[in-house]
Amino acid sequence: MKTFYTADHHLHHSGMELSFGRIVETFEKPVRAEIVLKRVQDVGLGPVLEPASYDRAAIERIHTPDYLDFLENVFAEWRAAGRDGEVWPYSWRHRSMPMIDAPPSGLDARLSYYSFDMAGSITETTWRAAKRAADTALAGADAVLSGERAAFSLCRPPGHHAGRDFFGGYCYLNNAAIAAQRFLDNGHARVAIFDVDYHHGNGTQEIFYDRDDVLLASLHGDPDFEFPFHLGYARERGAGKGEGYNLNYPLPAGTPWSEWQAAFEDAHEKIRVYAPTALVISLGVDTFKDDPISQFKLDSEHFTTIGRRIADFGLPTLFVMEGGYAVDALGINAVNVLQGYEGA
């Protein structure tokens, strides 16, 4: 399997985050991608390729131009306002406040408008890293479109929390959504996104909620207790012609493999019935038992089984890296999925 990777991911590094009341080094740090890359090389998964640089048009299929302009320019604006450090939003619209439908003009108000949390900051080079992560997803999709059975886009920063015009949860551009749209724009009529990350991909859900050309199935920590909260309940099934094409499997803290697998198999069957012609896997491995910010109990060998079952779809498949923070096991867990797929 080809892996798409660029060292440009180093251009994004938020120094710190607030985690359970403590300011700590961010969990979403550059070494994550290096660990996965090393494992890809150690097991000889296949060639590692640098993605081309794509036109912004491919990204504008998913994200709004005003949001992309904002991401690209907000750091310069922050400096021009005389501020040092990184760009951080710090306040969001509460349910008591009216919804607004156009970006406000003030810098902090606009930062609030285009985000939903402060899991990650915007540094001077975040836009470039996020753009290169999107390139990494597009290059992987193009490899599959050219006839590869599967490809791995080792994206960093991750993407599934980013919506059409917002960032959050360490995510700036929705790499998996951009790849899914690439398949649709190049001959595929129906694409499934199978999100196996521990967290609900609220951005992916927002992007495709009213569409029937993309089925999203997501297994995740119940939003009643887990980030990103408020979205990811089973009752959210899509809207309009998208009704029935958004499948959420919220699961309790402490979910062991047996229960995770039962939900996975249910989603697997529903994806099969949808009969997609291409598949995008939002590949988070933060379901691992030792993940420092997550609460499921999967073991390393379970990731091999996941890969094997994904191969059973018999579909052109793109794996897109999302979360996973237990750095000692991150490479093994992510690549176990890919080896499970290859071995099937």
Residues 223-242 that bind ligand 6XA (CB under 6 A): 227
- Let me know: does 290 contact 329? Beta carbons within 8 Å: yes
Report the C-alpha gap between 162 and 205 in whole angstroms. Answer: 10
Report the C-alpha gap between 146 and 160 in whole angstroms. Answer: 25
Choose which of 170, 172, 264, 288 interacts with ligand 6XA (CB under 6 A): 170
Nearest CB to Zn ion, comparing residues 67 and 296: 296
Choose which of 130, 206, 322, 335 interacts with ligand 6XA (CB under 6 A): 322
Could you say which of Zn ion, ligand 6XA, none residue 41 binds, taking C-beta under 5 to 8 angstroms by partner kind? none
Buried b (16+ CB within 10 A) or exposed e, 1-23: bbbbbbebbebbbbeebeeeeee
Nearest CB to ligand 6XA, comparing residues 114 and 325: 325
Alpha-carbon distance values, 197 to 109, 145, 176, 293, 321 (Å):
31, 24, 12, 12, 9
Tell me how far, at minimum, the Cβ of 238 lies from ligand 6XA, in Å.
21
3-class secondary structure, 331: helix
Residues 29-68 that bind ligand 6XA (CB under 6 A): none
Nearest CB to ligand 6XA, comparing residues 119 and 137: 119
Please say if 161 is a catalytic residue.
yes
Paired tokens of 318 = 């793109």
The yes or no reply on residue 119 touching ligand 6XA (CB under 6 A) is yes
* Catalytic residue, candidates 161, 188, 200, 220: 161
Tell me how far, at minimum, the Cβ of 249 lies from ligand 6XA, in Å.
15
**Helix %, strand %, coil % for the chain, to 5?**
40, 15, 45
Q: What is the dihedral of CA 104, 18, 162, 15, to 10 degrees?
A: 100
The yes or no reply on residue 286 touching ligand 6XA (CB under 6 A) is yes
Could you say which of Zn ion, ligand 6XA, none residue 119 binds, taking C-beta under 5 to 8 angstroms by partner kind? ligand 6XA
- Let me know: does 202 contact 231? Beta carbons within 8 Å: yes
What positions carry a catalytic annotation?
A: 161
Residues of this chain that bind ligand 6XA (CB under 6 A): 19, 119, 160-161, 169-170, 197, 199, 227, 284, 286, 293, 322-323
